[in-house]
Structure 1
Amino acid sequence: MNGNIKKKEGFQGQKAIVIPKTVINNRCARNAVMGNMYITNIGYYPKAQYHYRERLHGADQHILIYCHEGSGSIQLDKTEHPLQAGDFFLIPGKTRHAYGADEHNPWTIYWVHFKGIAANEIIEMCKKNNRWKGFAGAGGKSLELFQEIYSQLERGYGTDTLLYANMCFWHFLGTVLFHEKATNPHDVSNKNAVDKAIDLFSSNIDKVLTLEEIAAAANLSPAHFSTIFKKKTGFSPIEYFNHLKIQKACQYLQFTNLLVKEIAQALGIQDQYYFSRLFTRVMGISPNDYREKRNQ
């Protein structure tokens, strides 16, 4: 920071909306839909030279800062985190922090303050995984959603407007936290070992794949791959593959006249009784009962 020049606000082209507390308390926090997560403040600071903010006791809300251009840094508790273009950072509520733009390459940031029961759970999830910082890419869908949210809130605080803006915020947050899911699904360069394995499952739904074959496609040992896959998805690789097979089986049962034995074979499962047991375990109902209920 250059000398004593520090600015909380006052950047050419800046935008900011602070939703009135009466609206927050009466329209958002008490609403059955919005009460889970809602925006309290939202804004945009372009080329924010000398931007600096320090909160010794933190903010009442959680804060998301997305660095679109330039660079800066965020200090959470006593740890310094540099931010470059494409990075995002989550600051938990009521946590001491400070942040500021780089002196020579000041950042352009989009920021949102938000609260709610689900918001707290999301912060806890990030805390558990030590995921305060991540890469959200060049913007794309995220920035489109941000602009949509902002333009709606500029129109006032009608119930429909607030509902729409805050429901869009869920999508916006998802595109930021799970950037790899929001990118082009055909862009191989963005895919990790888990995504590549899921692609392998989808293109081989009619086959039986062993764990060794799946891990080899990801260039990892079976044990290491299984650990990574389960941590990422919550399921073992084979269990996940079976879920996709049963998903396809449901479509066959609903949209075709194929016999259960024929469906099993189409999914690479030669034993129709094993297939029926697997289907029942996953769906909680037998294949024939599933077809009957869907056709009622």
Structure 2
Amino acid sequence: MGYWLEEFPPITFMNCKEPKTEDVVLIFYEINRLFDWVKINRLKRNYPNSIIVPIVTEHLTYSTGIAIELNLPALLIKPLQKAKFLRIVKKLYTSYKEKQASTITMLELSQQISQDHTSPFREAFLKRLIRGEVENEQEIIQSASFLSKHCIPNIVFLIQGYIDMDEDRPFLFDASSVITNVFRQKFAITAPLSFLYFERYLLLLMRIPNEYTSFKHWSEGVACLLEVIEVLKKDYCIHLFMGIGGVFQDAMQVKESYSQARKARRKPPVQNIHIRFYEDLTKQESLQKAIHYIEEHYDEQITISDVAKYINFSSTHFSRLFKKETGRNFVDYVAFTRIIKTLPYLRKYDYTIEKISSICGFNTPNYFSNTFKKYVGISPTDYRNTQEILFK
């Protein structure tokens, strides 16, 4: 085959004994036994840019359908014929050159622009990553020119927030930049960060050290995060609230961390009102059913015995298990769920405090106001006077 390829113009083909992963190589591989198809599949994974042509021995021609399943562009059957071999190679080479001439890849485009964190290619890639649109490792490899390997995120934070409208302080027109700058300052030497404005939320995509399977177990990172929250609150009157997903070392699973962060953000926090970890959400099926019941009936005067009965638990057992699994007792959890439900009414409508408290299941406006202040830190009226941060 080597001699036959010499009929092409010089330097068209060169022998390559140990190709790199990113190289474009024409690989011929003999299929002498069925297991060799497994090796073909492995070659496809290891050399995603390359063109792989199996050469099938005559007694295994019945297995050539596997080539179609593997989406291979061609195959040859022994004994090889020079004319047929050269015809197929010429066709593959022409097809490759046409594709190369007509297609400019994200990798090639990104090489023409600045390599800083504002790269539109970096942003586009990260958005595709959290949407689950990055489907193969080759796209990860190609992202290297605008997103180095150590910056590929393994965890996602979903962030919302509001600003206190302090008459003695000038209005903060660019809260988003303030937030991202404070994050970058505090995490400058601990973890690489990326930010996305996504569906009116701010997403923080971070790569934490590989030895940690949870952000909450990374004490240095947690300390930096708490410092960010405190600095923004104290110096800029910005209050952040976030859901934090799990850690996924496989970049193509980062979309799961985003999904988890969204779910976590909607649930009552365990301790710090500003932070909710997905891993703190109960995975116990009966408790998930109970929580769903609470979220469906929050505007009613539900009791612990109502919910316990709904999932066929005794009230005592349910109370103990609920506290263990959610980090809050039943009364606190229901109250916090109701508070979460009041937020859109306070932010978007001109309803009175009395009407909102009634809509969301609180017995009296006073009880609503006191409960709201207990958990949120300010009264419903003060919250209504804050400015929601819209990340866009």
Same fold flag (TM > 0.5): no
Greater fraction helix: 2
Which structure shows the bigger proportion of residues in strand conformation? Answer: 1
TM-score range, shorter chain: 0.3 to 0.5
Normalization by structure 2: what TM-score? 0.33
**TM-score w.r.t. length of structure 1:** 0.43
